Amino acid sequence: MFFSNESSTESPTGLARLPAGKIAKWLFLGIWILLIAAAIPLAGKLSGQEKNPVTVELPRGAQSTDVAGVADRFPDGNISPGIVVYVNSSGITGADRAKAQADRSAFAKYAVKPVGPILSSADGKALQVIVALSTNTKTLTTDARQVRAQAQQALPAGVAAQLTGPAGNALDAYDAQQQSTKAVLLVTILVIAVILFFTYRSPVLWLLPLLNAGAALAVSEAVSYLLARFFGMPVDSGTAVVVTVLVFGVSTDYALLLLARYREELRRCQDRHAAMAMALGRAAPAIIASSVTVSVSLLCLLTASMGFNYVLGPAGAIGVLCGLAAMITLLPALLVILGRWVFWPRIPRAGDPDPMAQSRWARIGSQIVRRPRTIWVTSAVVLGALAFGALGLKTGLDNAHSFVGHPGSIVGEQMLADHYHAGQSDPIRVVAAPAAAGQVVSAVRGVPGVAQVLPVEHSTDGQLIRVDAVLGVPTDSQAATAAVNQARTAVGAIPGAGAQVGGTTAKNIDKALAQAHDRRTVIPLVVVVVLAVLIVLLGALVGPLLLILTVLLSYFAALGISWLLFAHVFHYGAVDVQLMLTGLIFLVALGVDYNIFLVSRIRQEVARFGHRSGVLGGLAATGGVITSAGAVLAATFAALGTAPQVAFVEIGTLVAVGVLIDTFLVRSVLVPALALDVGRAFWWPGRLARNATAGGISSPTERVSHG
């Protein structure tokens, strides 16, 4: 079985032997070739299963989501308005107006209805033209790009032009998503390749984990497509970047753990098949426990209200489980097929001395064992001090700061706000029953901050009316938030109206409420799930509780450091509303990974050599591989820093910082010191708490480290 007894000197049997079998290895390779061949075309169809791109990331059941969901029931429901704004700070001239008029004629070839008239601003410094473009995803970005290019070519001196409004926003969002997907994938692969090459110094070995991770990603996307196609699983292209990083990161971590154990067994076994069977039998429990922890933690997001969180959960869990499958079946088969030479130039041979006892981590362990209490208390104090950096953290990015740099649509919004009503490009949108039309208009008109109420629109089926109201303040301001809340109160009091208020400001309000709900609901659930996995894995209660506390402390320390970076280095005024929850799920689940890798090995060593020797031996055995794994995972998430969306940059930074803290302080110093100080009680009430001796047989690591 995979969960073999470490104390046994015989090769494991059953599942652990299958991928390493002399015949079965070819069978596994053939199965994976067929899987990949079938997965690639299916994976390419995944984005086509995104049935509700407008609402999929929004809070489920919120007013703003419902309003967005009925947009296509109105005559302009299949229209995405593009607002072209021209500004001349010295005042609009005849040449400027002629340019706008020429563009207006040129825009007609892209518009699905007559282009709107040229509207002058009250201050005489701006012009605007509204172009109605189709919401068809295949043509919207293409047409919007043409409109933007037309507006910005051959401009008179002193004139600036931008495309904004829903069409401009859609174009910039599409470009950002495409840039994120390509750049992050490329940087992720390059970073992992470099780290693996310098870890193994082999011209071939570094390639195998990457190939396996790529196979896992293709299969996970194919599985997601099938579940979406036949079982209605929601799909969001916006989660693709995060899922890609997650799959490559955890898959590479699992590969590193298996490779380290395989190389260890190759020094003991003449037969590489037996070495792989033994390595799988001993490494698989930690790898499986890790993947279960991460995937079940992600599935906790199914209780979330926020659409992005809800969709990310199953997509991420599928990716992690596919990574697990590849790393314990495909990678072992490839390694035994290729033979020992893949480790060249440092090929492990049977009978080679074990370098573990002479490792840097053995020396670190010998220092920790002298003053474990002083070390863990000091480490905890340092982490606590770092956590104070999160004081003053602000959540909720405004539209102007949601992208790195200054996309055209954001610049255009500011140009509109400077010369027209601030909410011109994005009005409050109220949907209600037709019988209440007059009352709704009166109620909305009486809301402070509303500058203009547009004519009532009826749905094509006659079942709904829509009232749009232009705000006189920016849509992402506190005044706009107050106006939406007052509008909801006012129209909600109209009997039988069934009125709901949507629009960008309403969406931001609902997102904040949904994220607050998700933090209250999902975070405790994730902590309980991770704790349960640790209890089952270690057969103890005290150790898992201590591990959970160290990971939470690490998370808050990472949050403190990250906020200081965001505020004083990146100059972000706030963090995205999704950061704290998404970051915690990744850091708790992934941070526990390294503790699982460490403590599961310590548990094996304790059973053989006693508690103190087991702790030192486990640290020495896993130190190198966990450090490499942590560096890979941190660098992988740091690749999100190349994305143009500030939210992705913040998530990548937080997870990268947290993983580095876990790798180099929590796992390497704090946890071993805690385990040594607590002693056998670390395993209470399990068998090891009763049987592990205080100073049992010394492991080779401890004997060497103490001279």
Q: Which amino acid is at 95?
A: A
Q: Which amino acid is at 318?
A: I
Q: Which CATH superfamily is domain 1-59+202-353 in?
A: Multidrug efflux transporter AcrB transmembrane domain (1.20.1640.10)
Where are the CATH 1.20.1640.10 domain residues in the chain?
A: 1-59+202-353, 359-405+512-518+525-707
Contact 354, 268 (CB under 8 A): no
Q: What is the pLDDT of residue 213?
A: 93
Whole-angstrom CA distances from 129 to 148, 156, 197, 490 are 12, 17, 55, 33
Q: What is the pLDDT of residue 463?
A: 94
Could you say which of 3.40.50.1400, 1.10.760.10, 1.20.1640.10, 3.40.50.150 is the CATH number of the domain covering 359-405+512-518+525-707? 1.20.1640.10
Q: What is the pLDDT of residue 8?
A: 39
Instruction: Give the whole-angstrom CA distance, residue 436 versus residue 540.
Output: 63
Instruction: Give the whole-angstrom CA distance, residue 88 versus residue 665.
Output: 56
Q: What is the pLDDT of residue 143?
A: 94
| Buried-exposed string 313-341: b where 16+ CB fall within 10 A, e elsewhere | bbbbbbbbbbbbbbbbbbbbbbbbeeebe
pLDDT beneath 50: ranges in the chain = 1-13, 692-697, 700, 702-707
Task: Return the biggest CA–CA distance within the chain.
Answer: 94
- Cβ atoms < 10 Å from Cβ of 472: 16
Contact 609, 617 (CB under 8 A): yes
Contact 469, 428 (CB under 8 A): yes
Q: What is the pLDDT of residue 656?
A: 93
Nearest to 486 by CA among 455, 535, 450: 450
Query: Positive or negative CA dihedral for 188, 190, 193, 199?
Result: negative
- Helices 165-200 and 240-266 pack at an angle, to 10 degrees, of 10
Assigned CATH class of 427-502: alpha beta
SS3 assignment, position 155: coil
Instruction: Give the whole-angstrom CA distance, residue 592 versus residue 650.
Output: 21
Give residue-wise pLDDT tens across range 407-440. 888 898 889 888 887 666 678 999 999 999 999 9
Instruction: Give the whole-angstrom CA distance, residue 54 versus residue 72.
Output: 11
Task: Provide the 8-state DSSP code for 692.
Answer: -
Q: Which amino acid is at 328?
A: I
Q: What is the pLDDT of residue 633?
A: 85
Instruction: Give the whole-angstrom CA distance, residue 546 versus residue 613.
Output: 20
| Buried-exposed string 106-133: b where 16+ CB fall within 10 A, e elsewhere | ebeebbbeebbebebbeeebbbbbbbbb
The residues pairing with 81 across neighbouring beta strands, listed in sequence order, are 132
The pair of structure tokens assigned to 456 is 């009532």
SS3 assignment, position 645: strand
Where are the CATH 3.30.70.120 domain residues in the chain?
A: 427-502
Whole-angstrom CA distances from 370 to 223, 361, 466 are 51, 15, 73
Pairing of strands 457-458, 79-88: unpaired
Residues 6+ apart with CB under 8 A from 108: 114, 115
Q: What is the pLDDT of residue 314?
A: 94
The region that residue 81 occupies, defined by phi over 0 for left and psi between -120 and 50 for alpha, beta otherwise, is beta
Could you say which of 3.30.70, 3.40.1350, 3.40.50, 2.30.30 is the CATH number of the domain covering 63-173? 3.30.70
Instruction: Give the whole-angstrom CA distance, residue 164 versus residue 503.
Output: 16
Q: What is the pLDDT of residue 577?
A: 84
Q: What is the pTM of this model?
A: 0.83
- Cβ atoms < 10 Å from Cβ of 442: 13
